[in-house]
Structure formats: structure tokens, C-alpha cells
Amino acid sequence: MNGTSNAEGEHLPGLVEAPSHASVKILCVDDVPLNLLALETTLTGLGLEIVKAHSGPEALRHVLQEEFALILMDVRMPDMDGFETAELIRQRRRSQTTPIIFLTAVDRDDVHMFKGYSLGAVDYLFKPIVPEVLRSKVGVFVDIHRKTEQIKKQAELVRQLQEQEHQRQLLETKTRFETERLRDEIRLARQIQQKLFPGAPKQKAGFDICGASFPADATGGDYFDYLPTFDDALAVVIGDVSGHGLGPALLMAELRAFLWAFLRTKSDVSEIMALLNEALEEDAPEGRFATLLLARLDPVQKTCTYANSGHVPGYIFDRAGKPKEIFKATGLPLAVLPTGTFPSVTVAAPETGELLLFLTDGITECRNVAEEPFGLERIFEVIRSHQQKTACDVVDAIFQAVSDFRANEEPLDDMTTVVVKPLE
């Protein structure tokens, strides 16, 4: 239906409402027809229009004629490979920001991966591709594309209202629209960011693990993860990009992508920290930085090796709930200087009955109506009273204590924590 209504419900002619879902196109580029068919089959059911190209030049012709939400690009192609094609795509203004995911069966080394990321790749998938992983990643970028298009059309709708309505009606309509838009944006943005965090609580490499993050805005700059390494250890990480909102969230997503890439081939946490610093320093806006605490739990050697780039300390609590080890900072925050050293420290891994805790300063610095900070001692009290419970029970208890403490006061910063407990 053409038109919309003002604050009093009157119909305003000439205004065109944006459709909730426009057609979304995905460009798949591969010189092997069977690979293109496999991609098309995998993405069936997502409501996408799949455009196929059998070579780099054919892909460029499609990019000149059409707009795409995402490009899935094979690296190895004759005449013009995926890297050359991506570089030409990035030279066109309208396609400079189109997300590209590289697909490869052979180029797994750091040099090729860094080259792909330098050309604007948002991810790197290795063949044979896991259908669930591909669908999940494509779904995230399709959601972002659809939301962006919806916001553009809604902005045009507001502009038309401004031209036809007097100031009082405009303010009322704009207030209502902004409230609804903000609610939708918060819900969608949080859904997208949550997909970047670990899914269900994990039991990996002999550990009970749980983490949670609550952003102060629609999206946040906090990050946590726990994932097995290539050499069967367990990496546990927590980070905090300065500020909160969309900008830090984007830098956090980039940090996550680099970290995952490095953990595929690196085991030295000090080296990984240095590589992350170099990668982020090139892209981080002026004044923006990130703190990060990365620990490597080795279940065979029963050691915990960590490096801390300016993050708040982590803790190992003994069976009585007292701090046994404190993971203090070993270097400056990431992206402060182009190069830096991040020495690692090795301690004994937590034993059965003990507990590893990582958190961000949004928890300890959360304030109540009297402007009192939550502080560390309240965290320690929660640990002492919930030491024997599951990791998720401890995480829930921490956030419940914070919620009770701040009552109706809005949090000023993102809040994140991770708990790791050895299994018997």
C-alpha cells in the first residue's frame, strides 16, 4: 500500500513504504561447475538469488552490472585468480565494501591468508566446505545487508515526512520511528554479534567452560572465546576494544578473524599477540585500541601459558575460593604501537576443584545509584559461594550479583566474563 500515517493516524499521500525483504544476490565464483552447483545447493532455502561466474573476468562483468550482498570467491582459477579478481573489484567505488569470502582447498599458509585479508576478505573457508558453517556465515552477511537496505529506505521515508508535515507532527513521527528503529537495530545487531561468540557452553579438553557478554549499547567491543588449537590444547581469550557500540564491535570482529587465523598454525601466545598487534594497528582508527588476555591450557603438560596486553587480570582460584594465580598485564594494549613485545607466563593449569576466571572491567567498574563500583571483592564472594557449581552457574551468579547491585542503573560499559573449571 502506498502512503503512511502521521502521529494522529491520518494518511499522508505520496509516501512509499519500503518492502521488508528485497531480493538479495550472492555472487559465487569458481572455475569448476560442480563446485558452483555445490555452493548453490548448500545455500538453497536462505531466500537468496545465486549468481554464478566461472572465471574472474565473468565475475567482474557481473559486479559492473549488479549489486551483491556477498561474494564467495575461489582462490585458484586459471588466467585470473581470486586475488587478482578481488583487487579489481575493490578498485570500483560501488563494490569497495562488498564482503568477500575466499574459498580454497590448498592455500592454507599465513602468506596466502594475509594476502586475502589485505584485499578486503572478511573470512577464509577451506575446502571441503562444511555446509552448516557456510550457511551460518552467509546468513550473517545477508542479515547485515538486509538491515542496511532497510535503514536506507526508512531514512528516505523520514525525509519525505519532513517535507510534508509541520514541525510538531514531524517530531512526533520521528520520535516514534526512531524508537521502533532502535529497538529493531538493537535486537538484530545483538543477534549478529552473538553469532561471533561461542555457542552453547562447552566441555573441551577436560574442562567445563562457560562465558557470556552483555553490551552496554546495541553492540559492544567486548570479546570472548574458547576453542581448541591445532595441537590439541585449549585457547581461552577475553578482550575489550575501547569504547562501545558499532565501531568497537567491528574492530572486535576483525580481531576475532585474525586470532582464529593465527591459532590454526601458531602455538606461542607471545607470538600470536605480536601478530595481532601488527594487524590491528594498521586498521584501528586513531585513539582506538584493544586489551586482550589469551591463555593456552595444555591438558597433557597440565600448564597454562598466558599473555596479557593491558587487560584486567585473570585469576585461578584454589579449592577454597582464594586467588592462587593472578594473570597480570605483560604488555601494552593492542594497536597502541606498531610493534611491541608481549611476554608470556607459564603457570600450573587449574586442578580439579579450582577455577579460572576472566572478565572485563565493565563488571568491576559497574556502579550503583550511590556511584559505588562493584569491585573485585564482590566477585571473590561470588566465587567462594559458587566454587563447586558448574561454570555456567558461576557465570549466572556473577551477572545476577551485578544486576542486583546496580538495580535500575544502566551499565556504562560492556560486561563479559569467562569461567573454566577442570572436569574430574
pLDDT tens figures, 230-245:
888 999 999 888 866 6
pLDDT of residue 19: 45
Least confident among 14-18, 24-28, 29-33, 412-416: 14-18
pLDDT of residue 8: 41
CATH 3.40.50.2300 range(s) for the chain read: 1-195
pLDDT at 126 over 50: yes
The runs of H, that is alpha helices, within 296-364 are: 361-364
Distances (CA, A) of 12 to 19, 20, 117: 18, 20, 48
pLDDT of residue 315: 97
pLDDT of residue 300: 87
Mean pLDDT of 192-196: 58
Higher pLDDT, 3 or 357: 357
pLDDT at 353 over 60: yes
Mean pLDDT of 298-316: 94
pLDDT at 3 over 50: no
Q: Name the residue among 201, 211, 207 with its Cα closest to residue 354.
A: 207
Q: Which of 6-20, 96-110, 294-308, 406-420 has the highest mean pLDDT?
A: 294-308
CATH 3.60.40.10 range(s) for the chain read: 198-422
pLDDT of residue 15: 44
DSSP 3-state assignment of 124?
strand
CATH number of the 198-422 domain = 3.60.40.10
Distance CA 274, CA 131 (A): 33
pLDDT at 250 over 80: no
Higher pLDDT, 158 or 352: 352
Residues 6+ apart with CB under 8 A from 199: none
Distance CA 52, CA 74 (A): 12
Mean pLDDT of 357-363: 94
Taking phi over 0 as left and psi of -120 to 50 as alpha, with beta for the rest, 338 belongs to alpha
pLDDT band at 206 (very low <50, low <70, confident <90, very high): confident
pLDDT of residue 390: 93
Distance CA 180, CA 375 (A): 36
Do 294 and 273 form a contact (C-beta atoms < 8 A)? yes
Do 311 and 265 form a contact (C-beta atoms < 8 A)? no
What integer best gives the mean pLDDT of the chain? Answer: 83
422: cis peptide before it, omega within 30°?
Answer: no
Higher pLDDT, 318 or 105: 318
Q: Name the residue among 221, 234, 169, 230 with its Cα closest to residue 193.
A: 221
pLDDT of residue 183: 64
pLDDT of residue 199: 61
pLDDT band at 159 (very low <50, low <70, confident <90, very high): confident
pLDDT of residue 5: 44
Residues 6+ apart with CB under 8 A from 275: 258, 262, 266
pLDDT of residue 256: 86
Do 110 and 279 form a contact (C-beta atoms < 8 A)? no
Distances (CA, A) of 291 to 214, 239, 243: 17, 5, 12
Higher pLDDT, 410 or 36: 36
Distances (CA, A) of 15 to 2, 11, 237, 307: 6, 10, 49, 57
pLDDT band at 200 (very low <50, low <70, confident <90, very high): low
Higher pLDDT, 390 or 152: 390
CATH 3.40.50.2300 at 1-195, yes or no: yes
pLDDT tens column, 405-422: 988 777 778 899 999 999
pLDDT at 251 over 70: yes
Least confident among 183-197, 226-240, 301-315, 364-378: 183-197
Start-to-end Cα distance in the chain: 63
Distance CA 236, CA 294 (A): 6
pLDDT of residue 1: 44
Mean pLDDT of 97-102: 88
pTM: 0.55
Do 239 and 220 form a contact (C-beta atoms < 8 A)? no
DSSP 3-state assignment of 307?
strand
Mean pLDDT of 248-263: 84
pLDDT at 396 over 80: yes
Determine what percent of the chain is predicted with pLDDT higher than 70. 83
Q: Give me 79's grid cell.
A: 588466467
